[in-house]
């Protein structure tokens, strides 16, 4: 479904006229199959979010390609309706002047759904994320963090994409709410048969939801492992991250 080939990315550092560059991603290649949940794990600054932005096509790699079902993800028709995203900061993900209904209507309108059909779908999606239809008229500031993130997830699912990028999507939530949202994501994946790219620094959350994980360190892939073999990781870096949860 998703193929990343030889991706490199650097950013300018040191001001407008500086020629200095910082390499953020180096020689990144991997695939994510249809319906697979692939975790991307690494310490802060290892390039996870940069890779996420390249995967959803909002930034372009300096070198290499990001292909979604064989098409370059930067082409609008490759990504429209096929890939959506949920970010850590749910407070700024929803327009503060929009009700939940208006926020959820946006992607459905882009798919040219008739109003009545879209309205029925919003009720169904809210139910599927554990919220009732009374939430339709609420504004973001009237929602708890967990509720707001559920709305963001419902909106991401609404176009029935083949893949959702979740970038630290549970990191800002309280422990017990994190577990509820992880359970919700698992359930939705079964209903809609979607793939997830699950970016996190939380190896426990990744172990709960992912089929495979990619360990990233300083912009490079250190190791990729099936979740069933997580305890058999080879690299010192992956062992160190695992050790942190064991202790
Ligand atoms: N738009 C940008 N311009 C310049 N430098 C950037 C930009 N985006 C990211 N970087 C740099 O790239 C490096 C990787 O950042 P990135 O946010 O991808 O890491 P991360 O693994 O997601 O970190 P965290 O877990 O803290 O979010 C950092 O050193 C960051 O300062």
Residue (of 56, 46, 63, 54) closest to 8 by Cα position:
63
Classify residue 176: in a domain, yes or no. no
Q: Name the residue range of residue 111's domain.
A: 93-160
Classify residue 18: in a domain, yes or no. no
Classify residue 39: in a domain, yes or no. no
Classify residue 27: in a domain, yes or no. no
- Give me ligand 1 centre to Cα 158, in Å: 29
Q: Which of ligand 1's atoms lies nearest the C-alpha of 216?
A: 21
Rounded to an integer, what distance in angstroms lies between the CA atom of residue 135 and that of residue 157? 17
**Mean pLDDT (the chain, rounded):** 92
State if residue 47 touches ligand 1 by the CB under 6 angstroms criterion: yes
Classify residue 103: in a domain, yes or no. yes
Residue written as token pair 């083949």? 162
Query: Which strand (E) or helix (H) includes residue 243?
Result: helix 236-246
So what's the pLDDT on residue 115? 85
Domain count, the chain: 1
Classify residue 153: in a domain, yes or no. yes
Least-confidence region, from 100-114, 124-138, 200-214: 100-114
Tell me the per-residue pLDDT of 144-167, one tens digit each, with 9 for 90 and over: 999 999 999 999 999 999 999 999
Tell me the per-residue pLDDT of 172-214, one tens digit each, with 9 for 90 and over: 888 888 999 999 999 999 999 999 999 999 999 999 999 999 9
- Mutate which of 13, 47, 60 for ligand 1 pocket (most atoms within 8 A of beta carbon): 47
């Amino acid at each position: 479904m998703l193929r990343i080939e030889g991706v490199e990315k650097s950013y300018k550092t040191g001001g407008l006229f500086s020629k200095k560059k910082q390499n953020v991603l180096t020689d990144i290649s991997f695939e994510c199959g249809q319906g697979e949940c692939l975790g991307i794990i690494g310490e802060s600054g290892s390039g996870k979010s940069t890779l996420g932005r390249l995967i959803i096509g909002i930034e372009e790699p300096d070198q290499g390609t990001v292909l979604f079902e064989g098409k370059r993800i930067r082409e609008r028709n490759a990504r429209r309706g096929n890939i959506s995203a949920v970010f850590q900061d749910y407070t700024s993900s929803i327009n503060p002047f929009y009700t939940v209904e208006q926020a959820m209507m946006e992607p459905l309108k882009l798919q040219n759904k008739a109003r009545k059909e879209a309205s029925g779908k919003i009720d169904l999606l809210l139910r599927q994320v554990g919220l009732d239809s009374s939430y339709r008229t609420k504004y973001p500031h009237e929602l708890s963090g967990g509720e707001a993130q559920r709305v963001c997830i419902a909106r991401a699912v609404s176009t029935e994409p083949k893949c959702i990028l979740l970038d630290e999507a549970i990191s800002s939530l309280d422990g017990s709410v994190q577990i509820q949202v992880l359970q919700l994501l698992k359930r939705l994946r079964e209903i809609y048969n979607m793939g997830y790219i699950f970016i996190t620094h939380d190896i426990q959350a990744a172990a709960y939801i992912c089929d495979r994980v990619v360990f990233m360190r300083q912009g490079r892939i250190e190791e990729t492992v099936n979740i069933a073999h997580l305890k058999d990781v080879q690299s010192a870096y992956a062992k160190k991250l695992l050790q942190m949860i064991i202790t």
